[in-house]
Structure 1
Amino acid sequence: MLCGGLRESSEKAISLRGVASWVLWAILEFLYSGTLRLGREDVWELAEAALLFQLQGVFVLCEEFLLEHIDPSSCLDILALAEAYGLDQLGRKAEQYALRQFQSVSCGDKFQDLPLPLLERLLEEDSLCVDSEIQVFRAVRCWVEEDLGERLPFLPGLLEHVRFGLMSYTELQEVQSCTLLTRSLRGKLPYTAVINWFFPQVLVVVGGDFVDEDFTRRVPSRSLWFAQRFLRGLGLIRTVEWKSLTELPEPPRFRHCVCVLNNQLYVLGGHQTVLHSNFKLPISPNTHYLEKITQDHWDRVADMHSPRDYFATACLAGKVYVFGGNHDDTQYLNTVEFYTPEDNTWRLAQPLDRALCGHAAAVSGGEIFISGGCDTRSGCLPYLWCYDPSHGCSSRAPMVAGVGRAGHAMLALGGKLLVVGGLQPLWAGFGDQLQCEAYDPTLDTWVAIPRLPRPHLFPAAVLLDGVMYVLGGSSVDTARDTPWVHRYDPRTGCWDNLGKLPRPYADLAAGQATHTCTVTLLFTILSPHMIEPWNSNTL
């Protein structure tokens, strides 16, 4: 500037605009001593002056200080500094910190000042760390609400980066109750479209077995169907519009269990051969499969220790539990195993008090409950147990409808355990059990609820919007498969017939109380292109 022929070389006084006097004194001191006194308040102006005067030594000291003292309140300022001056290395380190500490960073005031491109870049990163995906949604909501008039149109694009499929049902309810989504986004994306686009919830039927057209054998199915719409016709006529989703991997299975953990669908155990009336079915290998729902892809995961069918499963604390079941049509199991996805490993837990087959399991209040089933003498049991993986079973009040129950479904709804369907022992053999009952864990008592309109032996049962759905199965009395879909609403205390399955499937099971073959369950589809929007007006 002084020696290169520029204008300043001929001036007696030169103004250094935008630089405070104390900053210049600190830089002069550094030039003569090689030292720089830095603090949390003055490091920013010194760093900018170092970049202005191209003093690499000063900036290196400032950069080291910033990274040594980085915290949730300063990382976004560091990131903004790096963005402004093209400091790629500093920017990467600040961004990595922001991603690791996103939950704390998003709660700070400076988060609201993030420019849109930078916010989108953080949200789309797989390395973003939060305890729950609901924290990401809350961060987006707060950022938009900071300047609602300007930022509301950006909401649809930001929501594309929120992974709703990783949220629990309770968290999804929080999303649905957000008043921000009820506003029209540029007049094009109202609340219902947001809900249907990003996390439609559907009923899905997986696998199963059915009678062939010649009525000569039972055929396992590989099909996955989902209920696209529930339709109301004239009078009491109702139908379900089913649509094909994908297929199970070879070979087809039935009498297996299914559960959903961390938005991944697990298929466990069961049979895998065609059932003829004149020969005995072999038990399938002790394997299970996992579907990553967003990719329509099946992966083989670790084997259970024991092959089993007609067993029960439940998910608790990030683990998949399997309880008892039939081993080889002559031996029932009392063993309990649990699977941890982190290390792809099955381990043994405390066994059941007795070997069981055709029982049900459900989780309520953070505890696992197991009900009914048949013992080694083929006797139907009325018992209810609370199961602890470390200590085993403790008895609770037995069921009161009939003298025993097996092949039923049990779900937790409204703080109670609802038990429906199955069979019961009679003076000569077994019969359909149409009586239903509910257990209150706090009072340790059972009360009757309305009877099922039709038999459901080994049905599928799921919860959707506080309502219980029971699907398919068979009938002991008629020896026929059940095609019907029934719904129980605890608010009205009534059962409704909603229509039929794609065909009469038998040996059904459900997400939390699976103990046989086909399953119907509730899960979240991440891709908006996989299914058509759920039409709630026709439900």
Structure 2
Amino acid sequence: MLCGGMRESREDTVCLRGLSSWVIEAVVGFFYTGQLGLSWARVWELTDALHQFQLKGALSLCTDFLQGGMDESTCLDVLVLAETFGLVLLGQAAEEYVLTHFRLVSAEEKFKDIPFVLLDRLLDKDSLCVDREIVVFRAVVSWVEEEPKERLPFLSSLLSHVRLPLFTSSEVQEALRCKLLYRSSKTRAALETLQRLAKGEKVGSGRKPRSPNQASVLVLVGGDAVDDDFMKRVPIRSLWYAQQFHRGPGLMRNIEWKLLTKIPEPPRFRHAVCLFNNKLYILGGRKYYGSLDVLKSQLPDMLCPRDYFAAVCLDAKVFVLGGNYDDSQYTDDVQFYSPEKNTWRSARPLAAAVCGHAAAVLDRQIYVSGGCDSYHHCSSLLWTYHPSRGCFPRSPMSVGGGRAGHVMLAVGGRLVVAGGVQPLRVGFGDQLLCEVYDPACDSWSSFPALPRPHLSPGGTVLDGRLYVVGGSSANTARDTKWVYCYDPKKECWENLGAMPHPYTDLAVCALPLPNTTR
């Protein structure tokens, strides 16, 4: 532009119009450092500018950020952006996320702003993941009701994608009560189909039930439990997954579990799991209760065994942080596994040896919370950890005098800590109170308390909901069999039912399973 025959080569000043000064600063900074400071507030404008200037290296950082941090409130924006700029791989990932989590996505306010052409395309997909077809009908109705005058002409086209013969009798009656169906002559075919179904007539759908390629399910990995004779504790090799959540009358709930597979010998408890590229990595833990029973991994061996540690995935690597070495030594050691090279390497150690802590990744940063030191003092500290620079303190947890044996889960741009124990004057007691950390403000705030104690539980995020599973009680020494789920929309914990057995020291994950497996 400056050296050729373009107009800018003859001007003293070249104006870069439509760009904020901070965008220019970020781009120039990238030239010198190879780094971009990204957040959900900044990534949209940066992506626009980087696409305009064809800076592929920096643009790839933005697309990785968008793809890795998508949730039900952002996936539609990511999909629209990807299609606007022709970012094919990002668009495919965003569309897959929308299809897989359609029930949650369609409940978001942003769903009502989706363009008709895009909605029409999504509803036609066999891979649209819904447990009941009425979910699709409700989504169509809510979209049209947002702007009824402008959108009513599109209703018949959208309803053509709804597989009405799959409705139950009560769902047919619900659809017949929808006033929108009676406001347009174009919806007569759908209305007549519903009326025939209401009379019990068989209606050929011409469309099969939707069959998504895969959907994530709640999976229990290992742990230990009391045997059937209540005589001793037994380490577990089983992997169970929740095939169906059932809602009975009143508050009654139960879960239909199915055995997925078994961990190769030996069994595992006090271990950790990570999911990377749809592969489940099982790390460390122990096979029995002696000091020499602490394990390394099911991969090439870690450089040292450990249990009661934390593990996370970041930048195509699996990190293991701290933990117990042999029941007498805690470690500050951090190692990372590269699946591509199939090797372990050491990283910068933690600020202190710690055991029973928790870790999570939020906005491409590793956070480490709580745990106990080698003197069995319970910590309330929160750190950010960088593999080459080590730990940096953040605002400490505010509830109790510390927390250990808990879970920390990232959802909605924040970190929730739940479960575990707190220090008492003598020993430890159950911690039911939870709290949430906002990295933008570096501050903690209250969060609904757990109804029951969960010491050393499993924890994961599935479809935008937090799950805390199993564990035990420090106060009663009894194992916990319950699965609790926090729904952000209802702002409360719900008891979904019991595990196959009361497991503690287990690991939990949200694992994508093919439809044929489920």
Normalised-by-shorter TM-score class: 0.5 to 0.7
Report deviation, 1:427.
0.7
Q: Give secondary structure in 1 for the equivalent of 2:452.
A: coil
The residue that corresponds to 2:309 in the other structure is 311
The amino acid that maps onto 1:193 is: R
Q: Give secondary structure in 2 for the equivalent of 1:172.
A: helix
The residue that corresponds to 1:79 in the other structure is none
The amino acid that maps onto 1:173 is: Y
The residue that corresponds to 1:418 in the other structure is 416
- In the TM superposition, what whole-angstrom CA distance separates every residue of 1:334-381 from its partner, at most 9, and x where no partner exists? 010000011100000000010000000000011000000000110000
Say whether 1:173 aligns with 2:97.
yes
8 Å contact 1:310–1:326 — kept in the other structure? yes
Residues in 2 aligned to 1:283 and 1:393: alpha-carbon distance in whole angstroms: 30
- In the TM superposition, what whole-angstrom CA distance separates every residue of 1:407-437 from its partner, at most 9, and x where no partner exists? 0000101010000000000011100000000
- TM (norm. structure 1) is 0.60
Q: Give secondary structure in 2 for the equivalent of 1:419.
A: strand
8 Å contact 1:308–1:327 — kept in the other structure? yes
- The one of 210, 227, 252 equivalent to 1:193 is 210
The residue that corresponds to 2:517 in the other structure is 530
The residue that corresponds to 2:467 in the other structure is 469
The amino acid that maps onto 2:509 is: L
Report deviation, 1:229.
0.7
The residue that corresponds to 1:110 in the other structure is none
Inter-CA distance 184–448: structure 2 relative to 1 (3 Å threshold): closer
- The one of 226, 230, 247 equivalent to 1:232 is 247
Report deviation, 1:284.
3.0
- The one of 101, 118, 123 equivalent to 1:182 is 123
Inter-CA distance 184–360: structure 2 relative to 1 (3 Å threshold): closer
Report deviation, 1:304.
0.3
Inter-CA distance 453–254: structure 2 relative to 1 (3 Å threshold): same
The amino acid that maps onto 1:434 is: L
- In the TM superposition, what whole-angstrom CA distance separates every residue of 1:2-48 from its partner, at most 9, and x where no partner exists? xxxxxxxxxxxxxxxxxxxxxxxxxxxxxxxxxxxxxxxxxxxxxxx
Report deviation, 1:523.
1.7
Residues in 2 aligned to 1:438 and 1:337: alpha-carbon distance in whole angstroms: 28
Residues in 1 aligned to 2:285 and 2:352: alpha-carbon distance in whole angstroms: 20
The residue that corresponds to 2:508 in the other structure is 520
The amino acid that maps onto 1:401 is: V
**How many corresponding residue pairs?**
345
Inter-CA distance 189–391: structure 2 relative to 1 (3 Å threshold): farther
The amino acid that maps onto 1:237 is: M
The residue that corresponds to 2:395 in the other structure is 397
Inter-CA distance 445–505: structure 2 relative to 1 (3 Å threshold): same
Residues in 1 aligned to 2:394 and 2:407: alpha-carbon distance in whole angstroms: 18
The residue that corresponds to 1:150 in the other structure is none
Inter-CA distance 182–322: structure 2 relative to 1 (3 Å threshold): same
Residues in 2 aligned to 1:306 and 1:385: alpha-carbon distance in whole angstroms: 23
Residues in 1 aligned to 2:509 and 2:268: alpha-carbon distance in whole angstroms: 17
- TM (norm. structure 2) is 0.63
Q: How does 1:330-369 map to 2 (within 5 A)?
A: 330-369=328-367
Inter-CA distance 429–529: structure 2 relative to 1 (3 Å threshold): same
The amino acid that maps onto 1:371 is: S
Report deviation, 1:389.
0.6
User: Which has more radius of gyration?
Assistant: 1
Report deviation, 1:385.
0.2
Report deviation, 1:182.
1.3
Report deviation, 1:282.
2.4
Say whether 1:282 aligns with 2:292.
yes
Q: Which runs of 5+ in 1 are unaligned?
A: 1-129, 135-140, 142-162, 290-300, 508-517, 532-539
Say whether 1:210 aligns with 2:225.
yes
Q: How does 1:238-249 map to 2 (within 5 A)?
A: 238-249=253-264
The residue that corresponds to 1:480 in the other structure is 478
Residues in 2 aligned to 1:437 and 1:320: alpha-carbon distance in whole angstroms: 27
Residues in 1 aligned to 2:476 and 2:317: alpha-carbon distance in whole angstroms: 39
- In the TM superposition, what whole-angstrom CA distance separates every residue of 1:120-140 from its partner, at most 9, and x where no partner exists? xxxxxxxxxx999x9xxxxxx
Residues in 2 aligned to 1:434 and 1:175: alpha-carbon distance in whole angstroms: 35
Inter-CA distance 232–395: structure 2 relative to 1 (3 Å threshold): same
8 Å contact 2:347–2:388 — kept in the other structure? yes
Q: Give secondary structure in 1 for the equivalent of 2:210.
A: helix
Inter-CA distance 455–188: structure 2 relative to 1 (3 Å threshold): farther
The amino acid that maps onto 1:338 is: F
Report deviation, 1:263.
0.7
The residue that corresponds to 1:380 in the other structure is 378
The amino acid that maps onto 1:283 is: D
Residues in 2 aligned to 1:183 and 1:285: alpha-carbon distance in whole angstroms: 49
Report deviation, 1:199.
1.3
Report deviation, 1:285.
3.7
Report deviation, 1:183.
2.4
8 Å contact 1:283–1:307 — kept in the other structure? no
Report deviation, 1:254.
0.9
- In the TM superposition, what whole-angstrom CA distance separates every residue of 1:315-346 from its partner, at most 9, and x where no partner exists? 00100000000000000000100000111000
8 Å contact 1:283–1:308 — kept in the other structure? no
Report deviation, 1:281.
4.1
CA RMSD of aligned residues (A): 2.8
Residues in 1 aligned to 2:406 and 2:481: alpha-carbon distance in whole angstroms: 16
Tell which deviates more after alignment, 430-439 or 205-214: 205-214
The residue that corresponds to 1:370 in the other structure is 368
Report deviation, 1:521.
0.7
Report deviation, 1:226.
0.4
Identify the structure with bigger relative contact order (alpha carbons < 8 Å, sequence gap 6+).
Answer: 1
The residue that corresponds to 2:3 in the other structure is none
Inter-CA distance 246–184: structure 2 relative to 1 (3 Å threshold): closer
Tell which deviates more after alignment, 216-225 or 306-315: 216-225
